[in-house]
Amino acid sequence: MESLKTTKLFVCYIPGMDLRRISPDNFPYVANLFGSYPWAKIKTLPSVELVPSLITGVYPHEHGIWQVKLKPRLNTSLLDSLLDRVPDIVTTTFQCVVHFFNQSFDLAAIPYRRRRAFDLKRFKYTRREKSKEILFRIGGVESIFSVLGREESIYVFNKKIKDLDSLLYRVCSGSYRLEFLELYALDILQHWNLDNPGRMKGFYRKVDNFVERLYKKCKTKGVTLVLLSDHGQEYVKGVIDIRKKLGDLDLSEDEYDFYIEVPMARFWFHTDRARNKITDMLHGMESGTVLSYRDMHRYNVKFEDKAYGEIYFIAKPGYIFFPHDYYQPLANLFLGISDWQQRSRIFNPVHRGSHGYLPCSESEKGFIMILDNTYRVNRREVDIIDIAPSLLELVGYKRTPFMRGSSIFIQ
């Protein structure tokens, strides 16, 4: 595809940078930018994995990344029957060891007897941290990186706040049409430290200072800087033990399947009895919202069957599910010991901050800003699928036919 102009762009993507916390006290430099440059809010999806839609310009039902998909039910083999009798702590510990050596082995904390029921459809950050190749096609759909190619684009991932100085030295070479930095460190820090405002303020200031120095470097290199955040984080005030509630219903595990994320649980039913009991239980809970897979169409998650979930229960902002399907005691201990940013999880494995709630929640409001006043935005709130075509057009490439969104910038 021929380029239309020669703009070079640096995207600083900071998931977790919450509009409500961008203040002169927390982010003095960034707060000042909001009064100086064009920006728009981003309307997102009820999901913790937004990157696939962000870089493809299509919704989850089109790229297919939506956590898990239930496999057709088959007769249980003799080997599976034997493995199902092994205690969950044994199978999950073994799976976590496998995951340590093989990052492609995902959802290791789910017991084997449940995990084998799913096709995994995830885009975990550990994968793109290890290999940038997975960014080129998402579920068979092209991304901004495949459109631009390896010679014109580069992706950099960071998850350690202490590495910001060395990171600044390495990025913004000016050699690419598009440089895309994912500053994931802030998201991790808020997940495990949002209950400590004093400590978080120090981290906010570090990120703020990084953005200031990055902008200066971009100007020196003749590169346009774009700031991007697709969600904030909500302070966690309560937990939902959905497993205990399921256990109280006197149902056999053969009657239903379930999958529990931090802010969302989904269910598949194999008997009417399970469907009635579980949906009645969910409707009686005030800490979340019950949605069918058809109801999810209102939020641009338009799967046409129940394979990705028949019924969803999405927690209200400030509530999370615990235990969830990412929690395994020994793995939690390992992560707390190996990463000081997550040290607090050793003493309390419950997230302090969370996101992935319904898009109307303030924690789910993202933003995009271009630090160049020769541009303006054509609307004040944009959809997450508008980001990919907007970035392409900024670097001189036409919006591709498969993208559903449209560019938001006018020069």
85 falls in which pLDDT band (50, 70, 90)? confident
DSSP 233: -
Write phi, then psi, for 175 (nearest 5 degrees): -90, -10
ω into 323 cis (within 30 of 0): yes
- Residue 1: what pLDDT? 40
Contact between 325 and 107 (Cβ < 8 Å): yes
Contact between 71 and 397 (Cβ < 8 Å): no
409 falls in which pLDDT band (50, 70, 90)? very high
- Residue 59: what pLDDT? 97
- How large a percentage of the chain has pLDDT more than 70? 99
Q: Give the mean pLDDT of the chain.
A: 94
CB-count burial class (<10 Å; 0-12, 13-18, 19+) for 97: middle
- Given a cut of 80, is residue 2 above it in pLDDT? no
Which of 67-76, 226-235, 267-276, 342-351 has the least mean pLDDT? 67-76
Q: pLDDT digits over 204-226, tens only?
A: 999 999 999 999 999 999 999 99
Q: pLDDT digits over 372-390, tens only?
A: 999 999 999 999 999 999 9
Q: pLDDT digits over 101-114, tens only?
A: 887 889 999 999 99
- Given a cut of 50, is residue 167 above it in pLDDT? yes
What pTM does this model have? 0.94
Place of tokens 């509530």: 319
- Residue 4: what pLDDT? 38
- Residue 287: what pLDDT? 97
- Residue 6: what pLDDT? 54
- Residue 353: what pLDDT? 98
CB-count burial class (<10 Å; 0-12, 13-18, 19+) for 212: middle
Place of tokens 């995994």: 120
Taking alpha carbons only, the member of 4, 36, 6 closest to residue 370 is 36
Taking alpha carbons only, the member of 88, 123, 128, 129 closest to residue 327 is 88
- Given a cut of 60, is residue 247 above it in pLDDT? yes
Continuous H helices in 227-385: 242-247, 272-283, 329-338
- Residue 13: what pLDDT? 98
Token readout for 408 is 């938001």
Q: pLDDT digits over 30-49, tens only?
A: 999 999 999 999 999 999 99
Terminal CA-CA length for the chain = 21
For residues 157-165, average pLDDT: 96
Domain boundaries, given as residue ranges, for the chain: 9-54+138-231+360-410
- Given a cut of 90, is residue 73 above it in pLDDT? no
- Residue 134: what pLDDT? 86
Query: CATH says 9-54+138-231+360-410 is which class?
Result: alpha beta
- Residue 3: what pLDDT? 40
